[in-house]
Structure 1
Amino acid sequence: MARRALILVEGLSTMLRYVQVAQHLGLRPIVLSADPTRYDYLAPESIEAIRVDTGNFDALIRECSRLSATYDIAGITSARESFYATAGKLCRHFDLPGPNPTSIERCCDKFVQRQLLGEAGNPLPAYRLAANAADVESAAAEIGLPVIVKPAVGGGSIGVRLCRNVDELAEHTAYLLGGKHVWRSSPRILVEEFAQGPYYYADIMGDEVIGIGTGDFGPPPHFVFREITLPALLTDDEHQRISDISQSCLRALGLEWGPTCIEFRWTKLGPVVIEVNPRLGGVPGPQLVQLAYGIDLVTEHIKLVIGEEWDLRKKHSQSAAARILVPDRDGILDWIDGVSRAAAIPGVVEVKLDVEPKTPIVRKGDHRDWIGYVIAASSNLAQAKATLQRAVDFVDWSITPFPTRGEQ
Structure 2
Amino acid sequence: MQTIVFIGSNKSGTSREALTISNEMGYFTVLLTNRKSFIRQMKEFPEVHRIIYVEDLLDKDHILSIIKDLEQEKCQIKAVISFIDPFVAFAGRISQELDLVYLSNDALAIMEEKNLVRKHFKKNPVSPKYTVYHYDESIDEIMKEFDDSFPLVLKSPVSNGSKDVLPVKSTEELKEGLKYLKKRTPNKTVLIEEYLMGPQYLIEVMVVNGEISIIAVIEQDILNGTRFIITGYSYPALLSFDESKTLQSAVFHIIQQLELVNGTCHLEMRNVKGQWKLIEINPRMSGGAMNRIIEEGTGINLVKETIKLFLGLEPVLEKTVMKYVYAKFLTIQSKGKLIKVTGKNRALKHDGVTEVFVKPRKGAILREPQSLGDRYAYVIAVADSAIKAKEIASKAADEIKFYLDPL
1:288, distance to aligned residue in structure 2 (A): 0.8
- 1:171 corresponding residue in structure 2: 176
Q: Is the 8 A contact 2:337 2:366 kept in 1?
A: yes
TM superposition shift of 1:87: 0.2
Equivalent residue for 1:10? Answer: 8
Give the aligned partner of residue 261 of structure 1.
266
**CA deviations over 1:155-209 (Å, ceiling 9, x no partner):** 11111010011221111111111x2x133xx321000000111111111111111
Matched, 1:44 2:46: yes
* 1:322 aligned residue (327, 346, 355): 327
Q: Deviations over 1:322-360 (max 9, x none)?
A: 111101111223332111000121211111111123322
Q: Give the CA deviation at 1:137.
A: 4.8
**Which 5+ residue runs of structure 1 have no aligned equivalent?**
403-408
Is 1:77–1:98's contact at 8 Å kept on the other side of the alignment? no
Query: What's the counterpart of residue 295 of structure 1?
Result: 300
CA contact (8 A) 2:229 2:369 kept: no
Q: Which residue of 2 aligns with 1:304?
A: 309
One-letter amino acid matched to 1:387: I
Secondary structure of the structure 1 residue equivalent to 2:337: strand
Scaled by the length of structure 2, the TM-score of the pair is: 0.93
Structure 2 vs 1, CA of residues 128 and 149 (structure 1 numbering), >3 Å: closer, same or farther? same
Q: d(CA) in 1 for partners of 2:305 and 2:79?
A: 13
2:354 corresponds to which of 349, 352, 369: 349
* 1:305–1:386 Cα change, 3 Å: same
Distance 2:50 2:254 in 1: 37
Structure 1 counterpart SS, 2:8: strand
Q: Which of 53, 58, 68 does residue 55 from structure 1 map onto?
A: 58
- Give the match for residue 86 of structure 2: 82
Residue 141 (structure 1) shift: 4.2
Residues 7-406 of structure 1: pairs in structure 2 closer than 5 A: 7-12=5-10, 13-38=13-38, 40=41, 42-52=44-54, 53-69=56-72, 70-119=74-123, 121-132=124-135, 134-143=137-146, 144-177=149-182, 179=183, 181-183=184-186, 186-206=187-207, 207-363=212-368, 365-402=370-407
| 1:138 counterpart letter in structure 2 | E
Give me the whole-angstrom Cα distance separating, in 2, the residues matched to 1:135 and 1:252.
33
Give the TM-score, by structure 1 length: 0.92
CA 38–136 in structure 1, closer or farther in 2 if over 3 Å, else same: farther
Shift of 1:255: 2.3
SS in 2 for 1:82: coil
Instruction: Tell me the C-alpha RMSD between the 2 structures.
Output: 1.7
For residue 45 of structure 2, give the secondary structure of its aligned residue in structure 1. Answer: helix
CA distance in 1, matches of 2:138, 2:317: 45
CA distance in 2, matches of 1:82, 1:270: 30
Q: Return the offset for 1:256.
A: 3.2
Asked if structure 2 preserves the Cα contact closer than 8 Å seen for 1:30 and 1:48, the reply is: yes
Give the letter for the 1:10 counterpart.
Answer: G
Q: Are 1:300 and 1:310, in contact at CA under 8 Å, matched by a contact in 2?
A: yes
Is the CA contact (8 Å cut-off) linking 1:136 and 1:191 kept in structure 2? no
Aligned AA (1:17): E
Name the structure 2 match of 1:405: none
Is the Cα contact below 8 Å between 1:122 and 1:273 reproduced in 2?
Answer: no
Q: Judge conservation of contact 2:336–2:406 (CA < 8 Å) in 1.
A: yes
Separation in structure 1 between the aligned mates of residue 320 and residue 251 of structure 2, nearest angstrom = 23
Unaligned runs of 5+ in 2: none
Q: Specify the SS of the correspondent of 1:202.
A: strand
Q: Percent sequence identity over matched residues?
A: 24
